[in-house]
Structures are given as C-alpha cells and as structure tokens.
Amino acid sequence: MLTAGCISPGNNAGKPTPLPSVTPSLEQPLQEYRLGYKFEKGVALFHRVRVETTIDENQQPTQIMETVTIPSEINADYSHIKVVMLKAIALDKNGTRDLCGEIAYSSKVSDMNIYIDGKVDYGWTSTTNFYMPQRAIRVGDGWSFEGIRYSVLKASKIETLAGSFDVLEIEFSGKRTNNLGTRSVSGTLYFDYKNGRIVKYVQEESAFAYKRRIEQELIDIKREYSEPDMRCALMMSQLSTMQKYENARRYNAVEDFEKSIIFALSAKQDLHGADLNAETRALYIKILELLADNYHWTNQRMKLLDTRFELGNLYSAIHSEEISSDIINARNYFAAAYNLEFVSNSESANASEAKTKLAQLKSSELGIARGKAILKDSGDNTGLVSELYDGKKRIRFELLGESYYNLPLLNINASQQVALYLYKDGYYPKFIVMNASELISKNRDIILEPLSDTNKVIVAGTCYDENGFVQAAKLFF
C-alpha cells in the first residue's frame, strides 16, 4: 500500500542512489519552484487510499484505507514519521468487509525516515518512488529516476476534503522493479509546493494480466495530534485473546519488548470496555501487568504511569467487591496500594486522583501482620496460606514461594481480638489469638510441622479443609 504519498518499501537497500537526469523546459517560465517533503511538529496528515485490482480480467474487491501520518522528529534534510492505518475495508457486490484483522501489523504501522528529496529509509530497506531534484523547477521541466520519467505539466489549484491547495501537476510513467517483478507505471501526482506534501496521487500499474489503480488523497489535517487511533492497527482476527497474551508473554521473556507490546495491546483491545467476568478480568489484569513491565524496560514512562493507574483502579474495584464478601484477598489490596502510590508520586496527570484514592484505600488499615513462614522440612512455601480472622471476615494471603506472609488489618479496632493462622496441605496448622494492636507490634515467625498419619485425620475432621479454617470461629471465639 502507499504511505505518506507514494511511498512503499522496495528492494533497493544497499544500492547506490543514481543521480537523476533533468531536462530543462525550452520556454523558461519566470516562476520557479523548489520541491521537497516538509512536516510540522504536532501536525497530522490524514489520507484516504483506494485500490482497484484486476487479475486475469477478474475484478478484485476494491480496497479503501485511511491512514494518518505523524512526524516525531524533524531535521533539516529528513523527518522521522509514523504512518498508522486507521481503517481498511473491502468493497464488492456483496457489500463491505472489514480488512483490519486480515492485514499484518507490519503493513498497518510504519516508522521511517523520509528525506526532503523523496528517499525513504525504513531501517531495514530503502526506496525512492518519487524523486524531487533539489534545484529550481519550472513548469515544463522533466527528470528521470530509477526507470520513471517525470514531467511538470502545470501549476494549478486543487480542492480536497482537507481544503484548497496550490499544486504542481506532475505526470510520471515508466517501469518499476521490486520484489514482485517489473511493472509498467503511469500516473499524476499533485504536489503542494507551499507546504511540501502530496495532496493527491493517481497511479496505474500493469504487468501481463495484472492491473491496479491507486488513488490517494489528503482528507484532513489536524494540529496538536500525537496519539493515533490504534484499533485497526492492533486488530488480529486470526488469534484469540489468550494466544495474543501468550505471544506477548513469550516475547517479553526473551526481552523483545516492542513485539510483546504489540500483542499485549491487541489482547487488551479485545477486552477493553467489554463486560468482563472473573476469568476475563483476571486475564485483563495480566495483560496490563505485562504492558507495565514492557513500558518499564522500553522507558515509556507516561504509558507506564497510565497503565499503573488503570491497574490501581482495577485492583481497588476488586478489593471493594471483596469487602462485602466473606474472604478478602490481601494481594488485591496491596496491588491497589502499590499502583496508586506509584502514580501519586509521579508527574502523571492522574497523580492527584491517585493520591486521593490511595488515602481512601488505606483509611481502613490499622496495620499489617507480618512474619516469616517456615516449613520445617522444606524451603518451598508455594501453596502455604496465611489468614486473619476477626470473627466475621477472613483476610487471606497465599504465599507464592516468598518467605514472609503479609496480612493487612482492615476495619479492625486496636483492642479487638483476632486470630492469625497458617496452613498448607501436609502440615499441621498453627494459629495465634491476640489483640490486634499486639499482633502488629512486631514480626511473628511461624514454623509448620509436617502432619503425621494420626493427627492429619483429626485436623481434617475439625477445622481444616480445602477452604481453610472454616470452623475457626468455634475454635477461637
């Protein structure tokens, strides 16, 4: 497809760029023009591209695409730009079909250096589809470059959806060779010589039974535009949300963070705004955590802060739901506090809101019961569970291999009696009953002994089953 005018990757990487041949006009008009690509910081250019293809006299579905071009770096002789596809549809007698999910990401998002003379550097390959001699050009002048002959027909004015522009009409024809073979090419482009951009572009290609017509037009110009709509670019209909997440995790593990971000964002897009159940919400959180890690390692701090703020809100919402249930997962509480504190101490626009939400979250906390959990015959604490019981609710912290348990005392008075207990399959449970203020006054290390065949039956029959100490109230209060 075409990007930023008449640019598409070619196979000229590593080849020397030949000098163009320029033929001056005979009439020598007084008006002279200097052509070259120019971009403005924060100014986004929106294009619509229409592609009609015929193969063996069979008309293929017409493709209509919309893109946005955003410069991120502007220098004297080149600019670094990002081109993002915003829309892609196929149109035929059966109606329209969304193509976004069928097109590879690499064809929907391009980062490149575009030079003032038309040379394009994609980092891995270079091409020059429209060369502009860096000299005065007059109507009637012509030049040749890489098999294409260009002629300046006239100066005129053209109207598009983006406005009215003073342009040079430049006709071109010849043969172009790339990795798909050699094609005859002809067409007309309308170059806005005042602003340094192609306003409209019409090209026809042919090779044996293959014909293609491409029309591109500038349809809008927006200022102070920096974040493109990525919904089309991130759509991947061939993969499930879980497959995208697994790909993102795999690329993160080998430190290919940019690819990980692409798959994670696509997975996030699948779930964002949907009515999530407990399972899909858990997956959404995993995706956000992965994105936060990727943004950290790629130094994308503002995106990291936005992701941490979203995580903080999600964990806070889950914690609020658990407050009205029988069991509170301490990890959700700590995760909410960590993410909100991360944002509150930053330059994020959400810092003030995060600080307020953090204060609200921690207002119910009396303190934290901490200590080392020790299995007498093992160093693996995975699956060991610590719980705090106040006679009504249980606050649970399941160890995932770490050495210490951490249990927040929430909505509990300092003089209130609480029970702390630790348990794991195959071990005799241990418990402590004391006033809340005393419990949090120091770290309390707890050692669990392996169960014998005799006491295992007794424990299982009294207070210990797959849900933990379900009869704890009878034992401690």
The tokens of 162 are what?
């983006």
Residue 456, CA distances (Å) to 373, 384, 423, 441 in order: 20, 16, 12, 32
Q: Delimit the domains of the chain by residue range.
A: 21-223, 241-362, 367-476
Span 94-111, pLDDT tens digits: 889 999 999 999 899 999
Q: Which residues of the chain have pLDDT under 70?
A: 1-30, 124-126, 128-129, 179-180, 452-477
- Per-residue pLDDT, 174: 92
| 319 contacts: CB under 8 Å, gap ≥ 6 | 328, 329, 332, 333, 336, 361
2.60.40.1120, 2.40.160.10, 3.40.50.620, 3.30.450.40: CATH of 367-476:
2.60.40.1120
Secondary-structure class of domain 21-223 per CATH: mainly beta
Read off the pTM: 0.78
DSSP 34-86: -------TTEEEEEEEEEEEEETTEEPPEEEEEEEEEEEEE-SSEEEEEEEEE
| 279 contacts: CB under 8 Å, gap ≥ 6 | none
Span 229-271, pLDDT tens digits: 999 999 998 899 999 999 999 999 999 999 999 999 999 999 9
Cα–chain-centroid distance for residue 184?
A: 39
- Per-residue pLDDT, 329: 95
Residue 432, CA distances (Å) to 9, 328, 438, 439 in order: 69, 19, 11, 9
Phi/psi zone of residue 341: left (φ > 0), alpha (ψ -120 to 50 degrees), beta?
A: alpha
Q: In whole angstroms, what is the distance from residue 194 CA to residue 201 CA?
A: 17
Q: In whole angstroms, what is the distance from residue 170 CA to residue 118 CA?
A: 14
How many CB atoms within 10 Å of residue 378? Answer: 14
Cα–chain-centroid distance for residue 212?
A: 33
Q: In whole angstroms, what is the distance from residue 227 CA to residue 234 CA?
A: 14
